Amino acid sequence: LTGVLDDCLCDIESIDDFNTFKIFPKIQKLQERDYFRYYKVNLKRPCPFWADDGHCSIKDCHVEPCPESKIPVGIKAGSSNKYSKAANNSRELEDCEQANKLGAVNSTLSNQSKEAFIDWARYDDSQDHFCELDDERSPDAQYVDLLLNPERYTGYKGPSAWRVWNSIYEENCFKPRSVYRPLNPLAPSRGGLEFVCLFSWTGLCLEKRVFYKLISGLHASINLHLCANYLLEETWGKPRWGPNVKEFTRRFDPIETKGEGPRRLKNLYFLYLIELRALSKVAPYFERSVVDLYTGNGHEDAESKALLLDIFRDTK
């Protein structure tokens, strides 16, 4: 890829240089920190959308949970804000609480308003939940070490994987009227997967284009990870992982994808810029002394926050 990205004044080469020499090395170090390394999730929870077989198709793809004995005490404590005890006693927090009292919102409600809210709640309860979060307190929840479970090829493919992406694209309110991507792999076709006609932005405003690009960029990111870290050989000994050029070509080559592959990659760059902008916007929150990346290890926590702030400075 070369040249300027669509819908923004930034070129591919500048983004490559910035990421390679500024962001990527620091992000790698940050991922090794305990605060970002351990993640609690319920792996046994069934899919809420359709009956599905959650078992892996290859033995090397499953997620390996981490024993609680290895989890830092500060992370196990379950402090959602991850504030240290010292930070909680700081003058800055007291000032913040005082400001909240001075600017408190009048929370009294009329009976008419209360009745209206009950009707709203009834309506909300009758709808499908938009998003369900994992309950970290669930007895089935386990800690996962993300360094031991890198994003890579999982063997999850075919109709099940197609159904996930089809739902993501088709159930959005807006999308290009035509886009080159696989149709139902179960449908009979003359030669492998059927595809829709070539991509078109006809009739989409900037906001709708941006939304679609973000979803496409996420899709491209996941595809790139599985191509870059693919199970090349499954043996009785140690499995061999590495780049799969053939798979990458199938998903991104201009000829193989009828010109759509480069656009997918451009959407990934676009998503990257949006993420950098989000990081720069959230930076002031973390720059406050009261916020601590708390794991219980004071020295490591200080180093983690310093590294995070360094990344924020770069993004700005």
Dihedral over Cα of 172, 174, 180, 186: its sign: positive
In the DSSP assignment, the letter for residue 82 is: -
pLDDT of 123 higher than 70:
no
Average pLDDT estimate for 150-155: 82
Q: What is the pTM of this model?
A: 0.72
What percent of the chain has pLDDT above 90? 31
Which residues fall in the annotated binding site for FAD? Answer: 152, 154, 165, 216, 219, 251
Residue 145 lies in a domain: yes
Domain assignment of residue 95, given as a range:
40-56+90-149
State residue 38 phi and psi, 5-degree precision.
Answer: -100, 135
Structural contact between residues 11 and 214, judged by C-beta atoms closer than 8 angstroms = no
More confident residue, 33 or 69: 33
Nearest Cα to Cα of residue 144 among 59, 57, 70, 221: 70
The per-residue pLDDT for 81 is 46
Supply the DSSP string of 235-287, one letter for each residue. -SSS-EEE--HHHHHHHH-TTTTTTHHHHHHHHHHHHHHHHHHHHHHHHHHHH
Residue 98 lies in a domain: yes
Q: Which residues in the chain belong to E strands, given as ranges?
A: 38-41, 65-66, 142-145, 230-233, 240-242
In angstroms, the Cα distances linking 286 to 75, 83, 194, 290 are 18, 11, 48, 8
What are the tens digits of pLDDT across the range 99-109? 444 444 444 55
Contacts (Cβ under 8 Å, ≥6 apart) of 145: 37, 38, 64, 66, 70
Rounded Cα distance between 213 and 210, Å, is 5
As a whole number, the mean pLDDT across the chain is: 76
State residue 41 phi and psi, 5-degree precision.
Answer: -150, 150
Q: What value does the CA radius of gyration of the chain take, rounded to a whole number of Å?
A: 24
Rounded Cα distance between 1 and 13, Å, is 8
Residue 142 lies in a domain: yes
Rounded Cα distance between 164 and 152, Å, is 17
Which residues fall in the annotated binding site? Answer: 152, 154, 165, 216, 219, 251
Residue 10 lies in a domain: no
Dihedral over Cα of 12, 17, 23, 25: its sign: positive
State residue 160 phi and psi, 5-degree precision.
Answer: -65, -45
Residue 22 lies in a domain: no
Residue 173 lies in a domain: no
**In terms of residues, how long is the chain?**
316
What are the tens digits of pLDDT across the range 249-286? 999 999 999 989 999 999 999 999 999 999 999 999 99
Confidence of residue 197 (pLDDT cuts 50, 70, 90): very low
Residue 128 lies in a domain: yes
* Domain total in the chain: 1
Residue 95 lies in a domain: yes
